[in-house]
Amino acid sequence: MRNLVFLLIISLFSLHSFGLQSNSNLPIKDKFKSIKATMEYKSENYKEALRLYRDIYANDPDNPKINYAIGKCHLALGNINESVNYFEKSFQLDNYIDGINLSLGKAYHLKGNLTRAVEEYEKYKSSLPNRKRDKDDVNELLV
């Protein structure tokens, strides 16, 4: 029983550390799926992460963080058109998701739409604090 309580506390802490705290409206089983999916993504198990995120999406298709996560999985798997679709939906739902412009830029870049890629990279760069703008990796993409 103590182990179960400890695991629950660690899992809830993980929600915060993985940046999923805004998914507080998710049912508890989906919160745990979200944690598992994030861990799978970070372990580069993109197909499994995508499967888990899709399970959550089935219950909450208008969750911007879940749409963004699905887009990231598709991008990692090379499904560029799918990634753009999910990134755009995520952006429409919440245009303040950290990294959305960079991810959209990468997807457009890979899709061959360099004009849109540069636009998104520039938006991302302008969102950075002044001290980080010249040092960020996005500058290499804008050369």
Nearest alpha carbon to residue 90 among 66, 73, 111: 66
> Per 3-state DSSP, what percentage of the chain is helix, strand, and coil (rounded to 5)?
75, 0, 25
Task: Say yes or no to pLDDT of 15 above 60.
Answer: no
The answer to whether residue 5 scores a pLDDT higher than 60 is no
In contact, 91 and 100? CB cutoff 8 Å: yes
Please report the pLDDT score of residue 114 as a whole number: 93
Locate all alpha helices (DSSP H) within 60-99, ordered by sequence: 64-77, 80-93
Q: Is the dihedral of CA 34, 40, 41, 42 positive or negative?
A: positive
The residue-averaged pLDDT of 73-84 equals 97
Question: What per-residue confidence (pLDDT) applies to 33?
Answer: 95
pLDDT digits (tens, 9 = 90+) for 127-143: 888 878 777 788 777 77
pLDDT averaged over every residue in the chain? 85
For 95-112, what is each residue's pLDDT tens digit? 889 999 999 999 999 999
